[in-house]
Amino acid sequence: MAAPTSEAPAANDRGKLDSQKARRIVAAMRQSVGRRGATGSTFDQVAGEAGVSRGLLHYYFGSKERLMAEVVRHDCDIRLARLDEALGGADDVEAMVAVLVSGLEDMVERDPGAYALIFELFTASRHNEELRDAMADLYRRIREHLGRVLAAKEEAGIVKLRGTPEGVASALFALGDGLALQMLSDPDTDSSETLDAAIATAESLLGGG
Amino acid sequence: MAAPTSEAPAANDRGKLDSQKARRIVAAMRQSVGRRGATGSTFDQVAGEAGVSRGLLHYYFGSKERLMAEVVRHDCDIRLARLDEALGGADDVEAMVAVLVSGLEDMVERDPGAYALIFELFTASRHNEELRDAMADLYRRIREHLGRVLAAKEEAGIVKLRGTPEGVASALFALGDGLALQMLSDPDTDSSETLDAAIATAESLLGGG
DNA sequence: GGAGACTGGCTGGCCGGCCAGCTAGACTGG
DNA sequence: CCAGTCTAGCTGGCCGGCCAGCCAGTCTCC
């Protein structure tokens, strides 16, 4: 068949993308995009940070876009895991909202890159179909996942949703993303008033207060 | 005021940036960034679309970053004007929310670039101080402006805010931005459930329903 | 010895910035 | 009124650096 270089990232060998090196590359790319932006992340730097040669990025992923698509998938997993961990123990509306808010604050302060990554990937995805599909898929999965969690909490009588589980989940994410955008773009402004209003909003979405 | 004799020479004069051509350049850049992204917008293309030579962009703005900062300012004015026009006549909570939502939908569908612009500018601003300041300033102004409008509506007994005017304004923007992000990144998914939840939320923020 | 994993020099295209130079109009002085 | 001079506004060729992608070759393990 064709040379390995042009086929490497195809589904033919998903196992290859599970290798240690491939994982290191994806992780390095994720961090770099968060810090330097998508266009600011060059193969040279990323390869260096992953401790591999520049050529290997091509060997594994074929193109920058496909590498970014892989970052999207990886990021999705990370976010889902965090979400589950955080929401698992919350057993009333206030606790759930508090968990979400503190998670947000924590992320914005400790690892702004992780949030910036979303916006970077979004802007990049507007000019590449492959990436757009991956992003849409990520959002869908996260939304459905949180939707299921919310439905379970409602079943357990902990929340009383103001809408369908997925709709409420989406609205919560929208709120969180928008807040992060504000907090990141203007870190010096005190955001407590905004957070208070957002908390009231989130609680009303979950049928609390 | 525009007397040639009183014009300062080559320095970065603000008066110079009011000229017809400067305006055309800013408008073209705004559209281009919305469509092609910040890094995808080259001086060549933008100059062509503005009907001027490439050199003139440098002559007026000195660098790409400064041109983008100018786009931010221009965009701020546009958004403020739209907001006032839309909210002016709304005289109950439902009408206000309906106006905001339809404005959002309209913008996302008819001119996705205008919303994408925000995210483009945000990601670009993370790597340039000048731009970051301009963005922070834009957000602050818009927030305060909507805050004042909301305060006036509350004074008039139309709304009953669940928080400070500015806090509520910020939360509304956060919600809107986050919704736009979702709608743009996954245009094929039906967003009506999300919108329903968001509408309920927005109305509760304004003390309605 | 050969197949697959991996490397890094190379290239072609691109783009922001620079600057030498053009033009039109205003202002001289003769 | 007309050369001559000046200048602000504007132009576009050029350059230097950058970077994704290519590929010829090396290494390793079977």
Q: What is the pLDDT of residues B13-65, one digit of tens each?
A: 455 667 889 999 999 999 999 999 999 999 999 999 999 999 999 999 999 99
Mutate to test the interface with B, among A122, A133, A141 (most CBs of B within 10 A): A122
Q: Is the CB of B53 under 7 A from strand D?
A: yes
φ/ψ of residue B56, rounded to 5 = -65, -30
Q: Which residues of chain A carry a pLDDT beneath 70?
A: 1-17, 209
Q: Side chain identity at A168, as an amino acid letter?
A: V
pLDDT score, position A2 = 29
CB B66 within 8 A of CB B56: no
> What is the gyration radius of the CA atoms in chain B, in angstroms?
19
Q: How many CB atoms lie within 10 A of CB A137?
A: 15
**C-beta atoms of B135 and A198 within 8 A:** no
The residue whose two tokens read 């970065």 is: B12
CB B163 within 8 A of CB A201: no
**C-beta atoms of A185 and B116 within 8 A:** no
Query: In the structure encoding, which two tokens stand for residue A89, read together?
Result: 């123990």
pLDDT score, position A84 = 86
**C-beta atoms of A174 and B181 within 8 A:** yes
What band does B3 get if pLDDT is binned at 50, 70 and 90? very low
pLDDT in tens, A104-158: 998 888 888 888 899 999 999 998 888 998 889 888 999 999 999 999 999 999 9
pLDDT score, position A4 = 34
* H helical segments located in chain B: 20-36, 43-50, 54-61, 64-88, 93-110, 112-125, 129-155, 165-185, 192-205
Burial class (CB in 10 A: 0-12, 13-18, 19+), A49: middle
The residue whose two tokens read 């030579």 is: B53
CB B96 within 8 A of CB B159: yes
pLDDT in tens, B126-148: 998 889 998 998 889 999 999 99
CB A122 within 8 A of CB B119: yes
pLDDT in tens, B56-107: 999 999 999 999 999 999 988 888 888 888 888 888 999 999 999 998 998 8
Which residues of the protein have their beta carbon within 7 Å of strand C? A 4, 13, 16, 19, 21, 52-56, 58-59; B 4-5, 39-44, 54-55, 58-59, 62-65
Taking the whole predicted model, whether its pTM rises above 0.75 is answered as: yes
* Angle, vertex CA A65, rays to CA A59 and CA A66, nearest 5: 50
Residue of chain B minimizing CA distance to A186: B136
